[in-house]
Structure 1
Amino acid sequence: MAQLVTIFGGSGFIGRYIARRMAQEGWRVRVAVRRPNEAIFVRTYGVVGQVEPVFANIRDDASVRAVLQGADAVVNCVGTFDWRGRNAFEAVQAKGAGRIARLAAEEGVGRMVHISAIGADPEGPSRYARSKAEGERQVLEAMPTAMILRPSVVFGPEDNFFNRFAGMTRISPVLPLFGGATRFQPVYVDDVAQAATLGVTGRAAPGIYELGGPDAETFRGLMRLMLKVIRRRRLVVSLPYAFGWAMAAGFDLLEAGTAGLLHNGVLTRDQLKSLRRDTVVSEGARGFAELGIAPSAMEAILPGYLWRFRPSGQYAEIQESAKNLRER
């Protein structure tokens, strides 16, 4: 019988790519999510019955144990940007990750891949960074041979980075940024999935890997690249952190005052703290080179999904070609 991998968060942005690759490897894939009915699409990644969404709540031991039974490997892709509530940083990225690793060890699961983030640091400035570091610590305590992947900003068709800012250009002539000089090293989602697959199948050594694409660029530079891809002219403005702090504090207080009914999906104080640090691969860190993977360049991927934000959408390139013919 084919080997079985349980992927927590397997219908999410990164998880779905790992699930697809593992199905292509011939493994049975158990996609553990809070809402299986919303993850039915993962079934199409393999033959009938090969990929199945199942219910799991990483805050509950019995729920996690149930979906780990019989698994040969486990992948944890669950993360959050929530700073409050039952699914806040510590509950999901620290305790949740630790729970998965501890129960995986108890159930005799052979391998574990844990998706963390560049910037994970027990002394980091943000709760997000500290919770990621605590999650790593708990994972390695329970599963010392786990593979931990620390990607920079992840991009791809379903991302909430380039898509978010490209969407803003439809309604605003200005792109306001906080941390415009902060450097990122965006990595393509399927390259992260390929790295995870190597860990699950045992074709890569355990340990920590920092994953960044071939190019490191400032936040401001990334927005200018995005504008070039979508054929729009917008003013990119870097705003002072003081203004950002007042704005983020206001949104946080509004969320807290409404008991979460009005969710702060704009800017939190914790996100602002994170923006003060570069998110690039550390010097000397293991990464794609050690895994034998050539990471994809942004210029090769972004046009394939950001075209819908162009003024003429999918016809932009046709119109440009026609214009060149008329000029000749």
Structure 2
Amino acid sequence: MQDLVTVFGGSGFVGTQVVRALARAGLRVRVAVRRTNVAEGLRLLGDVGQIQIVQANIRNPESVARALEGAQACVNLVGVLYEAGRQKFASLHAMGARNVAEAARAAGVTRLVQMSAIGADAQSESKYARTKAEGEAAVREIFPDAVIIRPSIVFGPEDDFFNRFARMATLSPALPLIGGGKTRFQPVYVGDVAQAIARALRDPACAGQTYELGGPAVLTFRELMELVLEETQRRRFLVPLPFAVARAIGGVGDLIAATPVPPPLTTDQVAQLKRDNVANPDLPGLEALGIRPTAIEAVLPSYLYRYRLGGQFAEPPENNPAAQVDESGRTPA
């Protein structure tokens, strides 16, 4: 084992895979998280003593500096999909990214990877996208050699996107097509994103680059919902939902976000859905890092089967009347 890498946000959906990829590459990994109790299991992803868990909050510069002591490299994965309590887009995506970059520079860190997102744009209607762009700008200003990683929607067993709509399909006779379902996405596998981060961190030739990561297929929102229904073996109506109506529903979600219950939709997420989420062909992607993108069809069945009637052992819907819905949206008796 050689260099020490500090990973901020290493206990999350993407972070867990990044920690595993770095450990497999033989690096020592220090995982910096707000709540250490939720990250203890990460130690099992490496050899004895290879993975260390420390407390840090990127809103607190002192704790960030402590987490970077002795580190040669750093990965910042911290981000939120919606605002709740003190977890605000600006404080995490923009100010937090600046705190990490400043502390990394002061600590003599030589390699930094900043996680952003496709659609990061200082002029965007979405606050999420604006603050992601602000974070990129802050990192570039302080640490010009940093690598910026922008994935499309990331899929995998614990993702928030496909699991959310698969759960919805188990409860509702219909799935919404926000904005008519025309928005395009390029879903990318979480394992590929983790490998990309690990390789970009270790390869000096990647310094200063911005990578946009997408999978091998571009699919519309409607096609993604059809895929969810196919994999969960459920027949549900697909109902177009104009952006104005979706925004009203998102307003209710904004109120729910103030509670411990995750909101089904927020106004900012509606704003994000107004723009395609597809990798820019003029920027390097997975192939430039020597990674062959994983097809969504190869992974989705492995975790959406649990949303079928009977889970793994569910019958196909044509053989299972309980999984069918008639024209009125009711399940046949």
TM-score between both structures, scaled by the size of structure 1:
0.92
Q: Call closer, same or farther: CA 1:279–1:65 in 2, change over 3 Å.
A: same
Q: How does 1:1-328 map to 2 (within 5 A)?
A: 2-83=2-83, 85-179=85-179, 180-202=181-203, 204-206=205-207, 207-252=209-254, 254-255=255-256, 260-261=258-259, 265-316=263-314
CA contact (8 A) 1:9 1:31 kept: yes
Q: What letter corresponds to residue 222 of structure 1 in structure 2? A: L
**1: CA distance, partners of 2:307 / 2:253:** 28
In terms of mean alpha carbon deviation, does 118-127 or 307-316 score higher? Answer: 307-316
- 1:204·1:291 contact (CA, 8 Å) conserved in 2? no
Q: Confirm or deny: 8 A CA contact 2:83 2:89 kept in the other structure.
A: yes
Between the aligned partners of 2:247 and 2:28, the Cα distance in structure 1 is 47
TM-score, normalised with respect to structure 2: 0.91
| SS at 1:20 equivalent | helix
Deviating more after overlay: 148-157 vs 224-233: 224-233
1:176-217 alpha-carbon deviations (Å, 9 max, x no partner): 231311011000001000000012212651210000000001
Assess if the C-alpha contact under 8 Å between 2:154 and 2:190 holds in 1. yes
Q: Distance in 1 between matches of 2:196 and 2:183?
A: 26
Q: d(CA) in 2 for partners of 1:87 and 1:204?
A: 34
Residues of 2 paired with 1:292 and 1:283: CA distance? 16
The answer to whether the 8 A contact 2:82-2:266 is kept is no
- Following the alignment from structure 1 to structure 2, what is the Cα–Cα distance between the partners of residues 296 and 248? 32
Structure 1 residue 312: Cα displacement:
2.9
1:242 alignment partner AA: A
Q: Distance in 2 between matches of 1:108 and 1:128?
A: 30
How far apart are 1:295 and its partner, in Å? 0.5
- Displacement after TM superposition at 1:262 (Å): 6.1
Amino acid at match of 2:216: P
- Asked whether the equivalents of residues 81 and 88 of structure 1 are also in contact (C-alpha less than 8 Å), the reply is no
Q: Secondary structure at the match of 1:162?
A: helix
CA distance in 2, matches of 1:29, 1:106: 20
CA distance in 1 between counterparts of 2:311 and 2:184 reads 29
Distance of 2:260 and 2:5 partners within structure 1: 37
Whole-angstrom CA distance in 2 between matches of 1:119 and 1:58: 23
Distance across 2 between alignment mates of 1:177 and 1:234 = 12
Deviation at 1:264, TM superposition (A): 5.9
Give the Cα separation in 1 of the matches to 2:283 and 2:225.
27
User: Matched residues in 2 for 1:243 and 1:104: separation?
Assistant: 44
Aligned-pair identity (%): 51
1:276 aligns to what SS in structure 2? coil
- Report if aligned partners of 2:69, 2:107 keep a CA contact under 8 Å in 1: yes
Residues in 2 aligned to 1:245 and 1:288: alpha-carbon distance in whole angstroms: 34
**What stretches of structure 1 of length at least 5 have no aligned partner?**
324-328
Q: Which runs of 5 or more residues in structure 2 are unaligned?
A: 320-333
The 1:12–1:262 alpha-carbon spacing in structure 2 relative to 1, beyond 3 Å, is closer
Q: Offset of 1:84 from its aligned partner?
A: 5.6
Matched residues in 2 for 1:74 and 1:274: separation?
28
Matched residue of 1:170: which SS?
Answer: helix
CA distance in 2, matches of 1:101, 1:107: 10
Deviates more, 1:242-251 or 1:214-223: 242-251
- Residue 17 to residue 84, structure 1, CA distance change in 2 (3 Å): closer
Partner SS for 1:75: strand
User: Following the alignment from structure 1 to structure 2, what is the Cα–Cα distance between the partners of residues 185 and 112?
Assistant: 25
**Structure 2 CA distance for aligned equivalents of residues 166 and 52 of structure 1:** 35
Alignment partners' CA distance in 1, 2:55 and 2:105: 20
Deviations 1:204-258 (A, max 9, x none): 5121000000000111100101211121111111211111122222343x358xx
Task: Verify the 8 A CA contact 2:121 2:130 in the aligned structure 1.
Answer: yes
Amino acid corresponding to residue 201 of structure 1 in structure 2: R
The offset of 1:3, in angstroms, is 1.4
